[in-house]
């Protein structure tokens, strides 16, 4: 995939990082505002496709660290399962560390709603990893096929100079 024009790359330089910040905001405030792990994770994963479209394949593969996304996927799923196990004296996925309204917070760093926000973060990690890996695998499997002259292929459409 060829890199797009300097206008697109400049816009990517300026705005792509704000997409990550906005996605993290949506994940972090999932218990207060609309959104949550799935939606915010999808917003963060858009960053990778934005980079790919703006900068093209060569810069994409040079910049990419694929193991990070696999690790995010692993971390999100395991953390989600562990947070589910936290409520085990009562039942699986029981929210045992939630504080009823008007109560005292357990810790300064733990929100009142308990595992709801922790699971939001875990699912956010998982969705970021999964959707980014989908983009990486599907783009990485594109290969050039020489259809020969006059075979009726759409010229200029199927060309990826990788």
Partner 1 sequence: MKKTIFIAAVILLGGLLCDMFEEMHPLGVPLNTAMDDYILAHALSDRSAQNVVTAMVFDFRGFDTLGEAAVLFTALSSIAALFRDGGKRE
Q: Please count the residues of this chain forming the interface with partner 1, following the rule CB under 8 A.
A: 45
CB of 53 to partner 1, least distance (A): 18
Of 130, 7, 12, 124, the residue nearest 63 (C-alpha): 12
Give the interface segment with partner 1, choosing from 9-17, 44-52, 106-114, 149-157 (CB under 8 A).
Answer: 106-114
Residue 22 CB, shortest distance to partner 1, in Å, is 17
Specify the residue, 7 or 107, whose C-beta has the smaller distance to partner 1.
107
> Does residue number 1 form part of the binding site for partner 1 (CB under 8 A)?
no
What CA–CA distance (Å, rounded) separates 101 from 78? 29
Q: Name every residue whose Cβ is closer than 8 Å to that of residue 89 and which is 6 or more positions away in sequence.
A: 96
**Long-range contact set of residues 46-49: C-beta below 8 Å, sequence gap at least 24:** 46/19, 47/16, 47/19, 47/20, 47/23, 48/132, 48/135, 48/136, 49/135
Binding residues for partner 1, per CB under 8 A? 30-34, 36, 38, 57-58, 61, 73, 76-77, 80-81, 84, 92-93, 95, 98-101, 103, 111-116, 119-120, 123, 126-127, 130, 133-134, 137-138, 140-143, 162
């Amino acid at each position: 995939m060829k890199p797009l024009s300097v206008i697109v790359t400049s816009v990517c330089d300026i705005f792509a990082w704000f997409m990550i910040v906005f996605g993290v905001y949506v994940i972090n405030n999932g218990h207060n505002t609309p959104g949550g792990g799935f939606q915010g994770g999808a917003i963060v994963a858009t960053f990778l496709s934005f980079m790919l479209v703006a900068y093209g394949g060569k810069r994409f593969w040079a910049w990419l660290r694929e193991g990070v996304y696999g690790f995010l996927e692993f971390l999100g799923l395991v953390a989600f399962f562990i947070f589910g196990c936290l409520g085990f004296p009562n039942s699986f996925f029981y929210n045992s560390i939630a504080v009823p309204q008007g109560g005292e917070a357990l810790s300064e760093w733990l929100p009142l709603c308990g595992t709801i926000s922790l699971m939001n973060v875990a699912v956010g990690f998982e969705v970021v990893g999964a959707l980014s890996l989908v983009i990486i695998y599907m783009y990485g499997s594109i290969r050039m096929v020489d259809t020969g002259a006059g075979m009726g292929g759409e010229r200029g459409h199927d060309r990826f100079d990788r």
